[in-house]
């Protein structure tokens, strides 16, 4: 079974802080994704990566950056956290570059910015 692990289930940070969300998958998947999910807005893609050191912007990249130094790890960075970034953040992965296989999700991180 694919295991996607997110570093924190719940996180509380202050406005202006630099925030790191970590995601690790154990199935040697090439593709990794970061989403945020908000009531009434569904899942929105922030960034994704098809390979190590490679990243592509999703639909809402503003205020975020990512890092993929190793194949199994994909980090989401909030450069200067703001209250409108309070949300549920979900990491996912799939095998094979540009694969159309279903995504496997981590448990999610509920982030609150005060």
Within 13 Å and on the Cβ side, how many CA atoms surround 64? Answer: 27
Q: Please pick, from the candidates 13, 22, 73, 105, the single residue that binds another protein as defined by CB under 8 A.
A: 105
49 lies in the binding site for another protein (CB under 8 A): no
- Tokens for 6, please give them: 């997110």
28 lies in the binding site for another protein (CB under 8 A): no
112 lies in the binding site for another protein (CB under 8 A): no
Q: List residues near another protein by CB under 8 A.
A: 31, 33, 40-43, 45, 48, 50, 90, 94, 97-108, 110
């Amino acid at each position: 079974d694919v295991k996607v692990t997110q570093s924190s289930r719940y996180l509380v940070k202050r406005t202006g802080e630099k925030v790191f969300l970590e995601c690790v998958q154990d199935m040697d998947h090439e593709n990794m994704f970061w989403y945020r999910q908000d009531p009434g807005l569904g899942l929105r893609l922030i960034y994704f990566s098809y390979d190590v050191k490679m990243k592509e912007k999703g639909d809402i990249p503003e205020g975020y950056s990512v890092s993929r130094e190793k194949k199994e790890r994909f980090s989401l960075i909030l450069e200067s956290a703001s209250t409108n970034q309070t949300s549920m953040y979900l990491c996912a992965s799939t095998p094979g570059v540009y694969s159309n296989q279903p995504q496997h999700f981590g448990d999610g991180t509920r982030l609150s910015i005060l």
